[in-house]
Structure 1
Amino acid sequence: MADTSIGTAAQLRDPNYTPALHKAVPLGIQHVLAMFVSNITPAIIISGAAGFGFGSDAGAQGFPDMTYLIQMSMLFAGVATLFQTIGMGPVGARLPIVQGTSFAFIPIMIPLVAGKGVEALPALFGGVLIGGLFHTLLGTVIGRIRFALPPLVTGLVVTMIGLYLVRVGIEYAAGGVPAKAFNNPEYGSLLNWSVALVVIFVTLGMKFFARGMLSVSAVLIGIVAGYIYSMFFGLVSFEGISQSWNRAAAFGLPIPFKYGIDFSLAAVIGFCLMSFVSAVETVGDVSGITKGGAGREATDKEIQGATFADGIGSAIAGLFGGFPNTSFSQNVGLIAMTGVMSRHVVTIGAIFLIVCGLIPKVGALIRTIPIEVLGGGVIVMFGMVVSAGVSMLSDVNWNRRNMVIFAIALSIGFGLQLEVMNLKPGSPNALQYLPDTLRILAASGILPAALIAIVLNLILPEELADEATEEVSGGMSGHGSGSLPGE
Structure 2
Amino acid sequence: MEANRPKNTSLFDLDGKPSLGKAAPLSLQHVLAMLVGNVTPAIIVSGVAGLSAEDSTILVQTCMFIAGIATLLQLYPIGGWGFRAGSRLPVIMGVSFAYIPTVLSIVGDYGIAGVLGAQLIGGFMAILVGIFIKPLRKYFPPIVSGTVVLTIGLSLYPVAINYMAGGNGSPGYGSLQNWGIALITLLVVIICNNFTKGYLKLASILVGIMVGYVISIFMGMVDFSAIGKAGWFALPKFGYFGMQFNTTAVITMSIMYIVNSIQAVGDLSATTAGGLDREPTDEELSGGIVGNGVASIIGSLFGGLPTATFSQNVGIVAMNKVVSRFVLAISAVIILLCGFIPKFGALMTTIPQAVLGGATISVFALITMSGMKLIMQEELSARNTSLVGLAVALGMGIDMVPASIEAFPKWFIDIFGSSPVIIATIVAFVLNIILPKKSIVEEQKEREEMDR
State if a TM-score over 0.5 links the two structures: yes
Paired residue secondary structure (2:167):
coil
Q: Hey, what does 1:405 align to over in structure 2?
A: 387
* Counterpart AA for 1:353: I
| Rounded Cα–Cα distance in structure 1 between residues aligned with 2:411 and 2:103 | 13
* Counterpart AA for 1:98: I
| Rounded Cα–Cα distance in structure 1 between residues aligned with 2:235 and 2:44 | 23
| Rounded Cα–Cα distance in structure 2 between residues aligned with 1:135 and 1:458 | 22
Matched, 1:361 2:370: no
| Rounded Cα–Cα distance in structure 2 between residues aligned with 1:153 and 1:469 | 25
* Counterpart AA for 2:219: F
1:87 to 77, 81, 90: 77
In structure 2, the CA distance between the partners of 1:359 and 1:407, relative to structure 1 (3 Å rule), is same
| Rounded Cα–Cα distance in structure 1 between residues aligned with 2:175 and 2:128 | 49
| Rounded Cα–Cα distance in structure 1 between residues aligned with 2:112 and 2:130 | 27
| Rounded Cα–Cα distance in structure 2 between residues aligned with 1:195 and 1:412 | 35
Q: Hey, what does 1:226 align to over in structure 2?
A: 212
Q: Hey, what does 2:166 align to over in structure 1?
A: 175
Q: Hey, what does 2:422 align to over in structure 1?
A: 447
**8 A contact 1:282–1:307 mirrored in 2:** yes
Q: After superposition, where does 1:306-321 map in structure 2 within 5 Å?
A: 306-321=288-303
Q: Hey, what does 1:260 align to over in structure 2?
A: 242
Q: Which moved more, 1:201-210 or 1:67-76?
A: 201-210
| Rounded Cα–Cα distance in structure 2 between residues aligned with 1:41 and 1:460 | 39
Paired residue secondary structure (1:331):
helix
Q: CA deviation at 1:171?
A: 0.9
Q: CA deviation at 1:245?
A: 1.7
**8 A contact 1:399–1:469 mirrored in 2:** no
What do residues 299-324 of structure 1 show as CA deviations (whole Å, max 9, x unaligned)? 11111111111110111101111111
Paired residue secondary structure (2:94):
strand
Matched, 1:247 2:224: no
Q: Hey, what does 2:46 align to over in structure 1?
A: 47
* Counterpart AA for 1:222: G
1:436 to 410, 416, 422: 410
| Rounded Cα–Cα distance in structure 1 between residues aligned with 2:34 and 2:315 | 12
Q: Hey, what does 2:258 align to over in structure 1?
A: 276
| Rounded Cα–Cα distance in structure 2 between residues aligned with 1:396 and 1:388 | 14
Paired residue secondary structure (1:326):
strand
| Rounded Cα–Cα distance in structure 2 between residues aligned with 1:156 and 1:10 | 42
CA-based RMSD of the aligned residues comes to: 2.0
**8 A contact 2:264–2:309 mirrored in 1:** yes
Q: How high is the sequence identity, in percent, across the aligned residues?
A: 40
**8 A contact 2:8–2:15 mirrored in 1:** no
**8 A contact 2:15–2:325 mirrored in 1:** yes
* Counterpart AA for 2:430: V
In structure 2, the CA distance between the partners of 1:469 and 1:151, relative to structure 1 (3 Å rule), is farther
Q: CA deviation at 1:469?
A: 10
Matched, 1:73 2:63: yes
Q: Hey, what does 1:426 align to over in structure 2?
A: none
| Rounded Cα–Cα distance in structure 2 between residues aligned with 1:387 and 1:335 | 20
Q: Hey, what does 1:59 align to over in structure 2?
A: none
Unaligned stretches of 5+ in structure 2? 1-6, 448-452
| Rounded Cα–Cα distance in structure 2 between residues aligned with 1:329 and 1:413 | 24
| Rounded Cα–Cα distance in structure 2 between residues aligned with 1:469 and 1:328 | 43
Runs (4+) off by over 6 Å? none
2:367 to 368, 373, 385: 385
Q: CA deviation at 1:252?
A: 1.4
Q: Hey, what does 2:450 align to over in structure 1?
A: none
TM-score, reference length from structure 2: 0.92
Matched, 1:335 2:317: yes
Q: CA deviation at 1:339?
A: 1.9
Q: CA deviation at 1:261?
A: 1.4
Unaligned stretches of 5+ in structure 1? 1-7, 53-61, 421-428, 472-487
Q: CA deviation at 1:434?
A: 2.9
| Rounded Cα–Cα distance in structure 2 between residues aligned with 1:349 and 1:148 | 35
What do residues 410-430 of structure 1 show as CA deviations (whole Å, max 9, x unaligned)? 22111012113xxxxxxxx12
**8 A contact 1:136–1:311 mirrored in 2:** yes
Q: Hey, what does 2:27 align to over in structure 1?
A: 28
Equivalenced residue count is 435
Q: Hey, what does 2:173 align to over in structure 1?
A: 187
Q: Hey, what does 2:4 align to over in structure 1?
A: none
Q: CA deviation at 1:110?
A: 1.3
| Rounded Cα–Cα distance in structure 1 between residues aligned with 2:273 and 2:58 | 37
Q: Hey, what does 1:56 align to over in structure 2?
A: none
Paired residue secondary structure (2:78):
coil
Q: Hey, what does 1:135 align to over in structure 2?
A: 126
**8 A contact 1:96–1:344 mirrored in 2:** no
| Rounded Cα–Cα distance in structure 2 between residues aligned with 1:133 and 1:353 | 25
TM-score, reference length from structure 1: 0.86
Matched, 1:213 2:199: yes
**8 A contact 1:400–1:469 mirrored in 2:** no
Paired residue secondary structure (1:100):
strand
In structure 2, the CA distance between the partners of 1:411 and 1:32, relative to structure 1 (3 Å rule), is same
| Rounded Cα–Cα distance in structure 2 between residues aligned with 1:223 and 1:164 | 22
| Rounded Cα–Cα distance in structure 2 between residues aligned with 1:380 and 1:137 | 34
| Rounded Cα–Cα distance in structure 1 between residues aligned with 2:428 and 2:32 | 36
Matched, 1:467 2:443: yes
